[in-house]
Amino acid sequence: MDFYHVLETRRSIRKYKSTPVEPDKLERILEAVRIAPSAANRQPCHFIVVTDEAVRRSLTRAYSRDWFAAAPVVICACAEPDKAWVRMDKKNYADVDVTIAFEHLVLAAAAEGLATCWIAAFDPAELRKALGLPDGIEPLAMTPVGYPDEAPRAFVRKPLAEIVHRERW
């Protein structure tokens, strides 16, 4: 699929078919995560791929929407802040690095004809328990991955002139 078409047509999906995700598609999506850039190439990212139905259902303790656990795959993106690059003003780039890799995942899934939905409104403590995350690993986002069973409308976006500033603000 053309890259710009992927950017223009990707939507957050909240209804999934039960059709399994082919292993080769999932591997290509995960490879897109692996090759994502990170500050100083520290790669402080971890991705937990959940395909077991019981484990997916347990994630609803952290995010109480059944629709996301109904997808055949749920992926949780985590940061390891102690491994991340830190800017001179002490800004830790773990969140940025994970976000870049997560967006690679979302776009790669769309290119494969699969749907996702970026989820951040979850209970981190419950998610830590459900996934058995060790200390030092911070869950940042989750997404279901599967075939869409809906076609949501496009959102109106701000004009370019409102978000792009040339040379100076």
Confidence of residue 153 (pLDDT cuts 50, 70, 90): confident
Whether pLDDT at 147 is above 80: yes
- What is the C-alpha separation between 98 and 89, in angstroms, rounded? 20
Helix (H) or strand (E) holding 78: strand 73-79
CATH of 3-150, one of 3.30.70.260, 3.40.109.10, 3.40.640.10, 3.30.750.24: 3.40.109.10
Q: Tell me: the pLDDT tens digits for 43-72? A: 999 999 999 999 999 999 999 998 999 999
pLDDT digits over 67-122, tens only? 999 999 999 999 999 999 999 999 999 999 999 999 999 999 999 999 999 999 99
